[in-house]
Amino acid sequence: MRQTARIASVEEVFKLLATGGGAAYFGEPVTVLEHSLQAAWFVQCLGGDDALIAAALLHDLGHLLHSEGEDAADRGLDTRHEELAAAALGEHLPASVLDPIRLHVAAKRFLCFAEPDYLAGLSPASVESLALQGGPMTAAEAEAFLKLPHARAALALRRADDAAKVRGLQVPPLDAYRALVASLWR
């Protein structure tokens, strides 16, 4: 299941999003690319910094790196897409980008614990994956989560992630983010 892919260039990132991002987004009414672009746009509209915008754009890249297919959750598999993405990008992007990517699933678990109405607002596909990802956090897990570097950024990313499922929403194209990602690449 787990590929140890390493992405070597900004061009490789954008090619992966452009070619693989047209696939259905795991039970949602948008593709992976549409979801990623919407998340980045929402973060940008809310005044997020470049690192958080890049994290929003790249947060689900791991879905394009595993070979488990769209029905992985239906088969009881957690692909750990957040870890795949962070590992694939890890040599080239700062922690301010990688940590929110790595923590966006934990942020969902935190919000399910901390905000009683949050769980009710999740899409059916997100509820299904939540069960595979460990369910809502315990009080101790939530306390530990908030102490992590970039936990607050991961929560902002999570909210953009949840909102970024709007069929037909017009947002800037993928190339609009190339210079931003390149500016963070090392």
Domain that holds residue 108: 10-184
Structure tokens at 183: 């500016």
Radius of gyration, alpha carbons of the chain = 15
- Give the number of domains in the chain: 1
Q: Which of 140, 135, 179 is nearest to 11 (CA)?
A: 179
3-class DSSP state for residue 31? strand
CA 185 – CA 113 distance, rounded (Å): 34
Whether pLDDT at 166 is above 50: yes
In which band, very low, low, confident or very high, does the pLDDT at 76 lie, cut at 50, 70 and 90? Answer: low
Q: What is the pLDDT of residues 105-133, one digit of tens each?
A: 999 999 999 998 999 998 887 888 888 88
Do the Cβ atoms of 105 and 148 come closer than 8 Å?
no
Do the Cβ atoms of 107 and 82 come closer than 8 Å?
no
3-class DSSP state for residue 24? strand
Q: Per the domain annotation, does 147 fall within a domain? A: yes
Q: Per the domain annotation, does 38 fall within a domain? A: yes
The long-range contacts involving 43-49, CB below 8 angstroms and separated by at least 24 positions, are 43/156, 43/157, 43/160, 46/156, 46/160, 48/156, 49/96
Q: Taking all residues of the chain, what is their mean pLDDT, rounded to a whole number?
A: 89
Q: Per the domain annotation, does 96 fall within a domain? A: yes
Q: Per the domain annotation, does 5 fall within a domain? A: no
Q: Per the domain annotation, does 107 fall within a domain? A: yes
Q: Which residue has the tokens 């992976």?
A: 32
Which positions ≥6 away from 113 have C-beta within 8 Å? 136, 137, 138, 139, 141, 142
CATH, residue 47: 1.10.3210.10
Q: Per the domain annotation, does 4 fall within a domain? A: no
Average pLDDT score over residue span 84-101: 96
Question: pLDDT value at position 26?
Answer: 65
Q: Is the pTM higher than 0.85?
A: yes
Which of residues 143 and 73 earns the better pLDDT score?
A: 143
Q: Which residue has the tokens 């500016």?
A: 183
Q: Per the domain annotation, does 3 fall within a domain? A: no
Q: Per the domain annotation, does 81 fall within a domain? A: yes
CA 116 – CA 30 distance, rounded (Å): 27
Which of residues 1 and 59 earns the better pLDDT score?
A: 59
